[in-house]
Amino acid sequence: MTKTVLILGANGRFGRNAAAAFSWANWNVIRFDRATDALPDAAWGADIIVNAWNPAYPDWAKLVPQLTKQIIDTAKDTGATVLIPGNLYNYGADMPSELNEATQHRPTGPLGEIRETMERAYKDAGVRTIVLRAGDFIDTAPSGNWYDKVITAKLRKGFVDYPDDLDTPHSWAFLHDLADAAVMLAEQADDLPGFFDINFPGYTLTARELHHALEQVTERHLVLRQMPWWPLLAAKPFWPMAKPLLETRYLWNTPHSVKSLRFTDLLPDFAPTPLHDAIAASLQSDVDPDRIVPRLSGASRRPLNLCCPYSKAT
């Protein structure tokens, strides 16, 4: 029997990828439209509600609790399981170098506290919930995150700009793979505990390792530079986004790697995309329009974005 998933935030990073992954897995996908849809009506009959709503950081304190209550009330009425893309803010600035499901949550700033409170609300409400926690995103299309907005933004000019220490291990998740893992978890939701928190073991890379991978994929010499933070500090008094961005700076200078105690046991058939293939699929065709770069080879569960000459053939 075909199952139904409601995607909240289907135009966002995780939501867009989740919609594609669920569609590929033959789920009935409903993309919620805030302009025309009412949540209780849209969710009726849905087996899974993907909560990919992600307001702008300055609005988190006001909007996240409101949205959380709406989703909890709807899930209670419909019996749907809620699937949430979790992040690393819950661990806080004092997080250890290896993060797994048993790692204590010690949020150290407003963003982490809001996320922790949100997750606790689902657990306390008794709503069946899956939190799939991952590091920073590598996407197959520009989506305004650190990877495409800062790190690879000047590849065409031959530069890789990194937010902080160049030798600190940092955790990444390829959204194509993260979305596939979400589908695989959703398909066994009824067999999972009522509140299930699971980490996604993606890639762990220093800036130098990421820089090297970008050079190999593009077959170009790229200059690695450390991004200055003083513009954000200067903008803090009048730009609302500066404060939350500065709050998360610890993720770039604190070594960390996302691991899982249960991922492989639950998803034994999951086959992660090789790093270089993920990097290739993330780059846009205008990186170097005067050269032809052969597509990478290899198989995947689901075709990668083939919008540009760097993408992997499937």
Residue 140 has pLDDT above 70, yes or no: yes
The residue with tokens 């046991």 is: 265
Summarised one tens digit per residue, pLDDT across range 199-254 is: 999 999 999 999 999 999 999 999 999 999 999 999 999 999 999 999 999 999 99
Cβ 186 vs Cβ 46: under 8 Å: no
Calculate ∠ Cα 268-269-274, nearest 5°. 110
Cβ 171 vs Cβ 135: under 8 Å: yes
Summarised one tens digit per residue, pLDDT across range 87-119 is: 999 999 999 999 999 999 999 999 999 999 999
Sign for the CA dihedral angle at 165, 174, 240, 255 comes to negative
Residue 153 has pLDDT above 70, yes or no: yes
Residue 283 has pLDDT above 80, yes or no: yes
Q: Which two tokens stand for residue 294?
A: 């052969």
What SS3 state is found at 186?
helix
Q: Is 38 exposed, middle or buried (0-12, 13-18, 19+ CB in 10 A)?
A: exposed
141-162: average pLDDT: 94
Give the integer Cα–Cα distance in Å for 283 and 109.
33
Q: Which domains does the chain have, with CATH numbers?
A: 4-283 (3.40.50.720)
pLDDT at 99: 98
Q: What is the mean pLDDT of the chain?
A: 91
pLDDT at 303: 65
Q: List b or e across 160-186, with b for residues whose CB sees 16 or more CB atoms inside 10 angstroms.
A: bbbbbeeebbbbbbbbbbbbbbbbbbb
Q: How confident is the model at residue 304 (pLDDT cuts 50, 70, 90)?
A: low
**Number of neighbours of residue 35 by Cβ within 10 angstroms:** 4
pLDDT at 302: 62
310 vs 40 pLDDT, higher one: 40
